[in-house]
């Protein structure tokens, strides 16, 4: 009972408990449904180069509002084999992530369970564990990433709208991108205010503006993947 209560209290604070440890099962390259939910399941992609002898960089990928686990994979999936990244894409419990609807809890628990499953099957490089997202997913990636810097070493936020961490733990490196003509989340109200706040808080931030709208151009995704795997 105490452990359950502690877990739920942690989830309400946006805290994840899963950690990459020695994999107890022998996972193989491929695409997987984790079987955590019949309709809103988490997806896992393991690159062709994966070997248990070489722990892989690992990324939690978060979709935007109204999206799906498939949407969450899209920015980095074309790059996963090239950079050897394992990608985990959870599906929000509702139309978008919990703290955007109300408060932390259900999505944090779902992501934590998905991480437990993935970490149990695959060898993960603990020095390269990232959380990434687009739009609402980027806002959630910043929020969870900052609150869980003892797990996430890197954060990739593509066109975020805000950040709402409950606490600041560790010092993950951060990559932010935003289109200068974004009609959905206008850059002056979002990234151009978020990035200075991050820098003032002492974070190491790479910031890329591009001539475009509410999207993740392939060259931005490539820059983020290269930055993540090399720093």
Low pLDDT (below 50) residues in the chain: 1-2
Q: Checking DSSP bridges between strand 124-134 and strand 86-89, what pairing results, if any? A: unpaired
Contact 56, 88 (CB under 8 A): no
pLDDT given for residue 5 in this prediction = 55
pLDDT given for residue 1 in this prediction = 38
Q: pLDDT per residue over 100-157, tens digit each?
A: 999 999 999 999 999 999 999 999 999 999 999 999 999 999 999 999 999 999 999 9
Quote the pTM value.
0.96
Instruction: Write down all domains in the chain, each with its CATH number in brackets.
Output: 2-17+25-230 (3.40.50.1820)
């Amino acid at each position: 009972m105490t452990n359950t209560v502690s877990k739920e209290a942690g989830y309400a604070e946006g805290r994840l408990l899963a950690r990459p440890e020695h994999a107890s099962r022998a996972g193989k390259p491929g695409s997987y449904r984790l079987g955590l939910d019949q309709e809103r399941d988490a997806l896992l992609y393991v690159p062709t180069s994966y070997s248990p002898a070489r722990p892989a960089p690992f990324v939690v990928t978060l979709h935007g509002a109204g999206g799906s686990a498939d949407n969450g994979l899209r920015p980095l999936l074309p790059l996963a084999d090239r950079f050897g990244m394992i990608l985990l894409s959870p599906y929000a419990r509702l139309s978008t992530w919990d703290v955007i609807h109300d408060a932390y809890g259900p999505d944090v628990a779902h992501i934590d369970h998905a991480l437990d499953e993935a970490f149990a099957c695959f060898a993960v490089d603990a020095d390269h564990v990232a959380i990434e997202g687009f739009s609402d997913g980027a806002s959630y990636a910043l929020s969870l990433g900052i609150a869980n810097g003892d797990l996430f070493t890197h954060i990739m936020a593509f066109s975020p709208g805000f950040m709402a961490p409950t606490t600041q733990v560790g010092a993950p490196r951060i990559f932010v991108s935003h289109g200068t003509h974004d009609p959905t989340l206008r850059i002056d109200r979002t990234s151009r205010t978020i990035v200075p706040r991050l820098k003032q808080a002492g974070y190491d931030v790479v910031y890329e503006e591009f001539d475009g709208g509410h999207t993740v151009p392939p060259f931005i995704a490539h820059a983020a993947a290269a930055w993540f795997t090399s720093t």
